[in-house]
Amino acid sequence: MADPARSDLILVLNAGSSSLKFALFTPALAEHLTGQAESIGGPGRLKIGARSASCDLPDHGAALAAILEALATRGITASHLKAVAHRVVHGGVRLTAPVRITPATRSEIAACSALAPLHNPHNLAAIDRITALMPDVPQCASFDTAFHASNPEVALRYGLPDTAETAGLRRYGFHGQSYAAMVDSWSRVTGAALPDRLLAFHLGSGASICAIRDGRSVATTMGYSPLEGLTMATRSGSIDGNAVLKLAEDHGIARARRILNNESGLAGLSGGLSDMRTLMASDRPEAGFAVDHFVYWAVRHASSLLAPLGGTETIAFTGGIGENAAEIRARIVAGLHWIGAEIDPEANAEGQTALHSAASATGIYIIPAEEERMLAADALRVLGA
């Protein structure tokens, strides 16, 4: 139950294509309560803290209503909120820092919906619902693409002519909130200063790598959309544009889009298995090949990022696979042995923060993903400014 005297909680909303996560934080960024609505679009499930219940969740509006109602039963209403912070996937070229939601910034987010059709409309739905229900509560937004706005223009531009036909076709990069949170929490988690050159792996159902120099992104593997880069749970990763055109010519654009985004990656290579834990436990040859493919392309892309980074002193893993799959970490580090990276098998098996052996020339760490905490911190900074 909320302390009725409190009016300083930050509600963080993180809308995905079929889920809506929330977290409540104090101004000291202590986690107060978390939960999520999942399987949105039909019979869903609402988890609040340790409790879970089935409920009908036809759309994101219904999911947010269910979350707010559940919070109200715990004594948490608009009067307890200092702000609502939203994760917005795409900020385009203009929204490159956290902002307070105003009619103007809302319009900018809406203008980016074509770039993230599975996410930005849901982000806007949550913003609009909060505006209607809690008009006096400030709202802020942070953008997944913003962290990579510091990439040089040569990294962001595709080799396309600058015409009206190609407007908006550039690399934006994603998982920015995860990488920003890693930079923000580094000293607190490791007890050491942020390294000058950091090769960061965000490995989960969506996967990417980021080259971070002096706390800023200088290159990343995802591009115009989250499809580019590594092999992922259901996304193909990088693929020749003419192969994409061939799929579209033979099967239509909608079918090609579904193949590339929903039926490829680990699922496509293994014959339907997209969860890394299931793949690693399977004795099917296709499952083993899918894991090999994931590791090979992670190492290959990581190696290519060392050039713009100018080498690295430190490697870090985050995300569901990055934090929990010891075998995957070990295999990726083994593939980077040529830069002097050497993992400590015992530390890796135990999932310790520091994973490098005494002989390693490269520090190797696990940094827990703290995207929601970063969103709350962003909101506090925006409101303070």
Domain presence at residue 161: no
Domain presence at residue 117: yes
Say how far apart CA 88 and CA 228 lie, in whole Å.
19
Domain presence at residue 165: no
CATH number, position 327 = 3.30.420.40
List, for residues 275-292, the tens digit of each pLDDT value.
Answer: 999 999 999 999 999 999
294 lies in the same domain as 364: yes
- Domain boundary (143, 178, 200) is at 143
Decide if pLDDT at 5 tops 70: no
122 is in an annotated binding site: no
222 is in an annotated binding site: no
325 lies in the same domain as 199: yes
Q: Which residue has the tokens 């599975």?
A: 118
List, for residues 119-165, the tens digit of each pLDDT value.
Answer: 888 899 899 999 999 999 999 999 999 999 999 999 999 999 999 99
Question: What percent of the chain shows pLDDT beyond 70?
Answer: 98
Return phi, psi of residue 17, to 5°: -70, -30
Structure tokens at 145: 């693409």
Mean pLDDT of the chain: 94
Single-letter amino acid, residue 58: P
Q: Where in the sequence numbering do the catalytic residues fall?
A: 144
The pTM of this model reads 0.93
211 lies in the same domain as 358: yes
Cβ-contact 327, 277 below 8 angstroms? no
Domain span at residue 59? 9-143
Q: 5 or 353: whose pLDDT is higher?
A: 353
Domain presence at residue 185: no
- Domain boundary (114, 143, 172) is at 143
Q: State the pLDDT confidence band at 385, using cuts at 50, 70 and 90.
A: low
Classify each residue of 76-115 as buried b or exposed e, where b means 16 or more C-beta atoms within 10 Å of its C-beta: bebebbbbbbbbbbbbbeebbebbebeeebbebbeebbeb
Instruction: Check residue 3 and give its pLDDT.
Output: 58
107 lies in the same domain as 196: no
Domain presence at residue 215: yes
128 lies in the same domain as 231: no
| 3-state SS track over 252-308 | CHHHHHHHHHHCCHHHHHHCCCCCHHHHHHCCCHHHHHHHHHHHHHHHHHHHHHHHH
206 is in an annotated binding site: yes
Say how far apart CA 275 and CA 295 lie, in whole Å.
14
The beta-strand segments (E) located in the chain are 9-15, 19-25, 31-38, 42-48, 51-57, 81-88, 99-100, 139-143, 197-203, 207-213, 216-220, 314-318, 363-366
Q: State the pLDDT confidence band at 4, using cuts at 50, 70 and 90.
A: very low
301 is in an annotated binding site: no
Q: 381 or 118: whose pLDDT is higher?
A: 381
**How many folded domains does the chain comprise?**
2
- Domain boundary (105, 124, 143) is at 143
87 lies in the same domain as 196: no
Domain presence at residue 272: yes
205 is in an annotated binding site: yes
